Chain A
Amino acid sequence: MTPRFSAALLEAEHVTVRFGGVTALDDASLRVNAGEIVGLIGPNGAGKTTFFNCVTGVLKPDTGLVTFDGVEVGGLPPHRRSRLGMARTFQNLQLFSGLTALENLMVAVDAHSSRGMLADAFRTPLALFEERRAEERARALLHFLNLSDRADTLASDLPVGLQRRLDLGRALVGRPRLLLLDEPAAGLDTRETADLAELLLRVRDRFNVTMLLVDHDMALVMRVCDHIYVLDFGKMLTEGPPAEIRQNETVIRAYLGEAVS
């Protein structure tokens, strides 16, 4: 294992989750330092999504601590964590299908504003100002994602590749410090995955965002990650930089199989 010396943005310590008799996560710990792209890999059913849900607050771990930027967030609901600077994408996208691409991004800006229904009903100056600002930010991000010409298309009418980009944009538009990506390469072909890898690196530089990436796609994970954790049967098998993981015997046996031999 290679020691890492910068400040931890996200730290999960000894996280355990049980569903009835099944232990989905068993004493799993993980650290994401500011500025890094950290990968979390493991075979199907290893507990990756469970881990993800613990970090975002969709699920509460039975034991263990989740710390974000020095704050213990274990008891906070998802919307509070979002306000602290966490954002996530979804494996199955979960876009707001009845909203346009532009609205999908605007709502992510709206979510962090505190104005209520009254301001909207009377269209107060504050509401109009925030409305304009949300639209500007959403349009800027659509431009960055090369989706400008689809601004008024319903999310459900976009092709899957563009939906995935929109999902990423929706997570980014609130300017998070930590971006959690749940299998962003799912359903993409080799070429699209390669484009995604480039996009993620560009996103990190442009938005100065730290990332935790869960994926099966070794090409993507090896390409973009600075550090990789391997999860198997709910336990952290090992961790290390991509080059080490690629050569690790246990990992190859548990997960990669013949593919990287």
Chain B
Amino acid sequence: MSARARRVGLLVVAVIAIAWPAILSDYSRSLATDGLISGLIVLSLVLLTGFVGQISFCQYSFAAVGAFTVGSLVAAHHWSFWLAMPLGVFGAAVVGALVGIPALRLSGLFLTILTVAVALFFDRFILASGTWDAFSGGLSSFVVGRPSFLGVHLDTSYRFYLFVLGTFSLCSLGVWNFRRGKTGRVLRAIRDAEVAASTLGINLTAWKLAAFATSAALAGLAGALLAVSIGSVSTGGYDLVHSLGVAAVATVMGVNSVASAAAGGLFLVFGPEILRHLGVSSQWFNLITGALLIVQLIVTPDGMVTDFQHKLGHLLRHRAARKAPVPATELDVRDDVPVRTGVRS
């Protein structure tokens, strides 16, 4: 896609993202908010799976670290959200790096199983009542109020939506900057050929751990936001099934594209909602996602959003080419490159 087309597209998306929710109902607005928060978790997978090629089925466990840190500190210890949230994000990053350590030696199926184990460990042990009630709240849940941001209290659904939209946009921009910068190249290089990357001077350990930590930090941030969005933190919402769902949706949308994050997050939240409107139980949503996953893997192996972007870019290029045909005078001058033959003695 050309830079100009992308800029125009982004502007349109920004205007819609800011203006449209202003006329929606409170309920739809809060759904959109939760969609963007889920989008952050999809974004964390874009970084981990899309760049480094590591599969994770425990992103919601990282989110739980953020959510319960905020929940326990704000509700039980009256901390400010602005202190608890960074601590939660940092905690998630640390847990992510810890999960990353065994992942240094594992890949593919074995890594997948490891992340499943982490998800179960969190859900069934750490968050189970009786293990660490000060953190998990035991059988009750933590009640968390909305914070203020720069003096503005985020108590209305629109204000909070804008706050989440801003956070999501900044994180997406950051990941997009990773992608087009050194970080993206290095991580994708590691994904494609580890040994070659290390002989070029890339420290595999440091980069993989950094990727895991950053991905987990994004998920942790999502968890912290989810806590204040829902207004309470309780166990059950951060289990393996959620992690599997978000991984499936990230794959369907395309883990290579930053734009998948928004699309995936909104799909995760509005999908079941649309089913409910149609009079179908939202239980069907997982089945539909599964079916989509199969179709997508066959039809658009790179993911739906990625495929759409390719097609759109192609279309725009074609139109531009028709408007202003490029003169075909690009004869490469190759002065210093001999293509000699028959040099054998």
A residues adjacent to B (C-beta < 8 A): 56-58, 77-79, 81-83, 86-88, 90, 94-99, 103-104, 106-108, 110-113, 115-117, 120-123, 127, 130-131, 134, 144-146, 148-149, 170-171, 174, 190-191, 194-195, 197-198, 202, 219, 222-223
Asked whether B182 lies within 8 Å of A120 as measured between CB atoms, the reply is yes
| B205: nearest chain-A partner, CB-CB | A77
If the complex has contacts A78-B198, A144-B336, A144-B337, are A117 and B183 also in contact, measured as CB distance less than 8 A? yes
Asked whether A121 lies within 8 Å of B177 as measured between CB atoms, the reply is yes
B185-212 CB mask vs A (1 if < 8 Å, else 0) is 1101101110111111111100000100
Chain A residues near B196 (CB-CB < 8 A):
90, 94-96, 170
Instruction: Tell yes or no: B108 within 8 A of A by CB.
Output: no
Instruction: Tell yes or no: B334 within 8 A of A by CB.
Output: yes
Chain B residues near A190 (CB-CB < 8 A):
344
Instruction: Tell yes or no: B341 within 8 A of A by CB.
Output: yes
Nearest Cβ in chain B — how far from A232, in angstroms? 26
| A121: nearest chain-B partner, CB-CB | B174
| A57: nearest chain-B partner, CB-CB | B199
Q: 15 new A-B pairs (CB below 8 Å) besides A99-B188, A99-B192? A: A58-B195, A77-B203, A79-B203, A86-B199, A96-B197, A98-B191, A104-B189, A107-B189, A108-B201, A121-B177, A122-B174, A144-B337, A148-B332, A174-B201, A194-B340
B residues adjacent to A (C-beta < 8 A): 174, 177-178, 181-186, 188-189, 191-193, 195-204, 210, 214, 332, 334, 336-345
| A120: nearest chain-B partner, CB-CB | B181
What are the 6 closest A-B residue pairs judged by CB atoms, nearest first?
Answer: A82-B201, A111-B201, A120-B181, A94-B196, A146-B337, A96-B192
If the complex has contacts A117-B210, A197-B343, are A99 and B185 also in contact, measured as CB distance less than 8 A? yes
Q: 7 A-B residue contacts at CB 8 Å?
A: A58-B198, A78-B198, A81-B199, A95-B192, A122-B177, A149-B332, A223-B345
- State the main secondary structure of chain A at its contact with B: helix
Chain A residues near B197 (CB-CB < 8 A):
96, 107, 111
Alpha-carbon distance A120/B334, docked complex (angstroms): 35
Asked whether A79 lies within 8 Å of B214 as measured between CB atoms, the reply is no
Asked whether A170 lies within 8 Å of B200 as measured between CB atoms, the reply is yes
Alpha-carbon distance A177/B253, docked complex (angstroms): 45
Asked whether B177 lies within 8 Å of A79 as measured between CB atoms, the reply is no
Q: Which of B177, B195, B199, B338 contacts A120 (CB 8 A)?
A: B177
Asked whether B193 lies within 8 Å of A96 as measured between CB atoms, the reply is yes
Asked whether B199 lies within 8 Å of A110 as measured between CB atoms, the reply is no
Asked whether A194 lies within 8 Å of B341 as measured between CB atoms, the reply is yes
Chain B CB within 10 A, most for which of A117, A123, A131: A117
| A104: nearest chain-B partner, CB-CB | B189
Asked whether B182 lies within 8 Å of A194 as measured between CB atoms, the reply is no
Asked whether A96 lies within 8 Å of B182 as measured between CB atoms, the reply is no
Asked whether A174 lies within 8 Å of B191 as measured between CB atoms, the reply is no
Asked whether A195 lies within 8 Å of B337 as measured between CB atoms, the reply is no
If the complex has contacts A79-B204, A170-B200, are A120 and B183 also in contact, measured as CB distance less than 8 A? yes
Chain B residues near A57 (CB-CB < 8 A):
199
Alpha-carbon distance A179/B201, docked complex (angstroms): 14
| B196: nearest chain-A partner, CB-CB | A94
Chain B residues near A103 (CB-CB < 8 A):
185, 188
Alpha-carbon distance A190/B343, docked complex (angstroms): 10
Asked whether A58 lies within 8 Å of B341 as measured between CB atoms, the reply is no
Asked whether B339 lies within 8 Å of A195 as measured between CB atoms, the reply is yes
Chain B residues near A97 (CB-CB < 8 A):
192-193
| A192: nearest chain-B partner, CB-CB | B341
Alpha-carbon distance A33/B195, docked complex (angstroms): 26
Chain A residues near B332 (CB-CB < 8 A):
148-149
| A202: nearest chain-B partner, CB-CB | B338
Chain B residues near A81 (CB-CB < 8 A):
199
Alpha-carbon distance A202/B191, docked complex (angstroms): 32
Alpha-carbon distance A106/B178, docked complex (angstroms): 14
Nearest Cβ in chain B — how far from A25, in angstroms? 19
Chain B residues near A131 (CB-CB < 8 A):
181-182
Q: Which of A98, A148, A149, A198 contacts B188 (CB 8 A)?
A: A98
Nearest Cβ in chain A — how far from B292, in angstroms? 24
Alpha-carbon distance A191/B341, docked complex (angstroms): 6
Asked whether B186 lies within 8 Å of A107 as measured between CB atoms, the reply is yes
Asked whether A120 lies within 8 Å of B178 as measured between CB atoms, the reply is yes
Q: Which of B201, B341, B345 contacts A195 (CB 8 A)?
A: B341
Nearest Cβ in chain A — how far from B89, in angstroms? 14
Asked whether A223 lies within 8 Å of B199 as measured between CB atoms, the reply is no
Alpha-carbon distance A222/B343, docked complex (angstroms): 12
Asked whether B186 lies within 8 Å of A121 as measured between CB atoms, the reply is no
Asked whether A56 lies within 8 Å of B199 as measured between CB atoms, the reply is yes
